[in-house]
Amino acid sequence: MLYSIIVPVYNRPGEVKELLDSLAAQTVKPFELVIIEDGSKERCDHLLDHYRSLFNIYYYYKDNSGRSDTRNYGMKRANGDYLLFFDSDVILPPFYFERLEEAMSADYCDCFGGPDAADDSFSDMQKAVSHAMTSFWTTGGIRGGKAVMEKFCPRTFNMGLSKKVYDTVGDFKDMMGEDIDLSIRIRNAGFKIRLIREVFVYHKRRIDMRRFFKQVNNFGQARIWLQLIHPGSLKAVHTAPALLLLMGVVLLAMSFFYPWLLLLPLAYLLLIFADSLLKNKSFKVALLSVVAAVVQITGYGTGFLKAFWFKMILRRPLETKEGLTKLYNRG
């Protein structure tokens, strides 16, 4: 079976080089690589010749149109039986495709996803953000490979689907939470979706806390979009960050009268600190993990509450059912 790796790129030649190195180091190479440059000023095409003798590479440059349209562009041009999606900032362990072929031979599925992790070479900040994104104690239980709190929905930093799925379900929509939307449509069409824990990637997020806040804020808003498009997709677990944020605000206000109430959020933060310290073996990373977790919960929670207020309570015109249907069917 031939896998087509589809990678949208925007001004990230350094990241692409690391991804290419990790692909070159694979113990088996049953894949082709499709790179789509989404209007980048810093192009990566000059890096590719060195790797063309190791696997087939197809490079495309187009005007900037966003990640969903860019992935769709690659899907239309892929030759493989199975389409794989990676972000440009991931690094694959050398056994990725070996373990993927073993998993597929043992239990084939038409769609799968794998978790992400932090490599030892990552900076302290990258390790802290990775911990916040994968820890069971924050919003990362599913991303971290624990599909126990909701039905697993692969994310496009490490996701695969068969050509049969693509021909049946279609492509990504231009919306927030486009990968979760596609996963829901795949499951609704009757296809099996599987979490394969053994095929993880190292997600080298080049991010500061300001950009991290913006990213998770969008994640929170996306959950409301998805609920409006797919009624019933919003589960209790998705409200947890917003509830934690509201609870923190209430406890902070009440602590002026009952100071001991501050022990509750402090105990929660201590739990995150201890969890990170145990996994990362670094006091500094553990401290940064607490900061990242606060940013994550605040960002996700405020995004969720903002979208809930404007889209479900006030029902702004663009977010009416008719408006969402128009957006959903676009392209």
Cα-to-chain-centroid distance, residue 105? 26
Strands (E) across the chain are located at 3-9, 31-38, 56-62, 82-86, 90-91, 111-113, 116-117, 158-162, 193-195, 201-203
Which structure tokens are listed for 14? 């350094």
Confidence of residue 329 (pLDDT cuts 50, 70, 90): very low
Could you say which DSSP state residue 110 is in?
S
Please give the single-letter amino acid code of residue 58. Y
For 227-276, the pLDDT digits (tens) are 999 999 998 889 999 999 999 999 999 999 999 999 999 999 999 999 99
- For residue 155, give the 3-state DSSP assignment: coil
Query: What pLDDT was estimated at residue 110?
Result: 96
Which amino acid is located at 276 in the chain? S
**DSSP class of 258:** -
pLDDT at 326: 46
pTM: 0.89
The whole-number pLDDT of residue 237 equals: 86
Q: Are β-strands 116-117 and 201-203 bridged in parallel, bridged antiparallel, or unpaired?
A: parallel
For residues 158 and 116, is the Cβ–Cβ distance under 8 A? Answer: yes
Of residues 132 and 330, the one with the higher pLDDT is 132
Predicted pLDDT at 231: 92
- Give whole-number Cα distances, 195 to 47, 87, 146, 172, 203, in Å: 32, 18, 9, 20, 17
Specify the pLDDT at position 316: 74
Mean pLDDT, the chain, integer: 91
Long-range contacts for 312-320 (Cβ within 8 Å, ≥24 apart)?
A: 312/224, 312/227, 312/228, 319/225, 319/228
Domains of the chain and CATH, by start = 3-207 (3.90.550.10), 218-329 (no CATH)
Task: Write the CB contacts of 288 (distance below 8 Å, at least 6 apart in sequence).
Answer: 124, 125, 127, 128
- Integer angstrom CA distances of residue 273 from 237, 283, 286: 22, 9, 5
pLDDT of 314 higher than 60: yes
Cα separation, 120 vs 89, in Å, equals 15
The pLDDT of residue 330: 41
